[in-house]
């Protein structure tokens, strides 16, 4: 690990100023990804600006029909939030299915979304709900925020402050989890609101999280699992790695989407429910 400066910011303006002043400074949230990257020499920032001292970045509220979650809110806090579980239980279950208890108590919503790991759960939740990412500079729709493999619309020295999740009529997230890390081999988030159906897929795409337009169109016409197309993504656009082939991932997208629709319709699950309620097989 290369030496780096450490700054503990007490406010968002202080964090942004430090990030702007020091070339190659990075925000530090839960450190669950960034610290291992430093240890393995995959990242070598000149400074870490710790957001952990900024109380205003933590917490959950319900404002104007949207759930507003602070960027430094941990996965465990989202999973255990009465507001989340009353207003948008699918998001609470998603958070409760991330990693293990240590990861859930350190990892944060903002860190997960800024990192945009192609197998992470929150990017699917943001895209599947049509969330808005709020930064110190602007608001960005989830459709515009996730720009590719580990890449986002964030500019240098831009800090995510919160994420606003519209509350749909119904929503569900189902994932086939990697048995070691619990990252999604494939995960599918589906929401239905008065004017739209959104289907977001994580873990499968070569460029990271994506919306499954064909599935959205089929469900908008008829919200039943039977209407879902068997294969909705070209195999060339899907990952093949040591965990699963593109063909297997394509099959999983269909199976998990069906189960998500069933869950939205309130059908009792025929499958094991583990890790805080996210379906993990
Ligand atoms: C063993 C293990 C298992 C895991 N399993 C899962 C899983 O099943 N599902 C899943 O989705 N994830 C999983 N994760 C990822 C984890 O949940 C965290 O979400 C992830 O590590 C990033 O969050 P963090 O708060 O730790 O961010 P950090 O590691 O501190 O930061 C990650 C990146 O985001 C940037 N960043 C952080 N906060 C902000 C901000 N507010 N604004 C702008 N940039 C910011 C940092 O500079 C850095 O580049 C796992 C991680 C581990 C180590």
In order of their start, the domains of the chain are 1-53 (3.30.43.10), 170-277 (3.30.390.50)
Q: Look-up: residue for tokens 């959950």?
A: 60
Residue 74 CB less than 6 A away from ligand 1:
no
| Whether residue 27 has its Cβ less than 6 Å from ligand 1 | yes
Torsion of CA 218, 176, 194, 110, to 10 degrees: -130
Determine the pLDDT at residue 271.
53
pLDDT at position 226: 95
Q: Which residues, at least 6 apart from 144, have a Cβ–Cβ distance to it below 8 Å?
A: 153
Nearest CA to ligand 1 atom 32: 111
| 232, pLDDT greater than 90 | no
51 lines ligand 1 (CB under 6 A): yes
- Statement: residue 268 has pLDDT above 80: no
Say what the pLDDT of residue 231 is: 84
User: Which two tokens mark 25?
Assistant: 């400074």
Is residue 185 within 8 A of residue 238, CB to CB? The reply is no
Q: Looking at residues 90-113, what average pLDDT do you find?
A: 97
Which atom of ligand 1 approaches the CA of 114 most closely? Answer: 34
pTM recorded for the entire structure: 0.95
Nearest CA to 30 out of 143, 136, 146, 115 is that of 115
Answer whether residue 6 shows pLDDT above 80.
yes
Instruction: Please write the tens of the pLDDT for every residue from 180-217.
Output: 999 999 999 999 999 999 999 999 999 999 999 999 99
φ, ψ dihedrals at 198, nearest 5°: -125, 135
């Amino acid at each position: 690990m290369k030496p780096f400066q450490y700054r503990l910011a007490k406010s968002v303006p202080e964090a942004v100023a430090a990030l702007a002043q020091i070339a190659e400074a990075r925000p530090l949230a839960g450190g669950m990804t960034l610290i291992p990257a430093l240890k393995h020499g995959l990242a070598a920032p000149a400074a870490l600006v710790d957001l952990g001292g900024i109380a205003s970045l933590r917490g959950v509220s319900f404002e104007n029909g949207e759930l507003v979650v602070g960027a430094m809110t941990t996965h465990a806090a989202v999973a255990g939030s009465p507001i989340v579980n009353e207003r948008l239980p699918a998001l609470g279950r998603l958070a409760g299915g991330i990693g293990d208890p240590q990861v859930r108590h350190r990892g944060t919503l903002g860190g997960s979304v800024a990192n945009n790991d192609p197998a992470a759960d929150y990017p699917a939740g943001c895209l599947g709900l049509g969330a808005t990412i709020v930064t110190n500079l602007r608001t960005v729709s989830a459709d515009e925020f996730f720009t590719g493999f580990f890449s986002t619309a964030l500019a240098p020295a831009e800090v995510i402050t919160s994420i606003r999740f519209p509350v749909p009529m119904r929503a569900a997230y189902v994932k086939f989890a990697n048995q070691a890390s619990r990252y999604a081999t494939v995960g599918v988030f589906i929401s239905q609101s008065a004017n739209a159906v959104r289907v977001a897929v994580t873990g499968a795409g070569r460029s990271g999280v994506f919306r499954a337009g064909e599935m959205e169109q089929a469900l908008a016409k008829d919200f039943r699992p039977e209407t879902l197309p068997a294969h909705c993504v070209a195999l060339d656009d899907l990952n093949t790695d040591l965990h699963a082939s593109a063909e297997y991932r394509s099959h999983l997208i269909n199976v998990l989407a069906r189960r998500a629709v069933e869950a939205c319709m309130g059908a009792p699950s025929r499958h094991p429910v583990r890790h805080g309620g996210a379906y993990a097989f």
